[in-house]
């Protein structure tokens, strides 16, 4: 999923109080739910980092003079866009609450 897709979801960037009793509705275990959300947040963070690095290479300059560093508006706007996105943990929580995360428990399959 692209960062633009995350921006379209209108996820609140501010932390809010959560009802912890709702976390175990799918896994029947609070701690398993936290692990699932944590691993999903790691995936989202890695995807966003890779996407940012690929996008920022377009605006990289070969020679960095002091004037070029301060005047590279495209790179500054790109950085601001990624800074305004919700944090990966908030995105993972949103996906988990809306049943958009696929997970399986391998211990139950054995």
Instruction: Encode pLDDT of 52-104 as tens digits.
Output: 888 877 776 666 565 555 667 777 888 888 888 888 998 998 888 888 888 87
Report yes or no on 24 lying in a domain: no
Taking the CB of residue 40, how many other CB atoms lie within 10 A of it? 21
Give residue 63's domain range: 3-8+32-109
Q: Does 23 fall in a domain?
A: no
Cα–Cα distance between 93 and 41 in angstroms, integer?
A: 8
Distance (Å, rounded) from C-alpha 49 to C-alpha 46? 5
**CA–CA distance, 22 with 24 (Å, rounded to integer):** 6
- Say if 69 falls within a structural domain: yes
**Spatial separation of the C-alpha atoms in residues 93 and 75, rounded to whole Å:** 29
d(CA 85, CA 66): 29
The alpha helices in the chain, defined as continuous H runs, are 3-8, 30-56, 66-71, 73-84, 88-97, 106-109
In a domain, 36, yes or no: yes
In a domain, 20, yes or no: no
pLDDT in tens, 23-63: 888 888 889 989 999 999 999 999 999 988 888 777 766 66
Domain presence at residue 27: no
């Amino acid at each position: 999923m692209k960062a633009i897709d995350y921006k379209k979801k209108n996820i609140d960037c501010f932390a809010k109080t959560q009802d912890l009793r709702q976390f175990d509705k799918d896994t029947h275990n609070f701690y398993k739910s936290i692990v699932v959300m944590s691993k999903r947040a790691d995936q989202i963070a890695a995807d966003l980092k890779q996407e940012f690095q690929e996008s920022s290479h377009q605006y990289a300059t070969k020679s960095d003079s002091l004037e070029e560093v301060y005047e590279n508006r495209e790179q500054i706007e790109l950085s601001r866009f990624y800074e305004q996105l919700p944090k990966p943990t908030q995105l993972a929580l949103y996906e988990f609450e809306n049943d958009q995360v696929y997970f399986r428990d391998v211990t139950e399959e054995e």
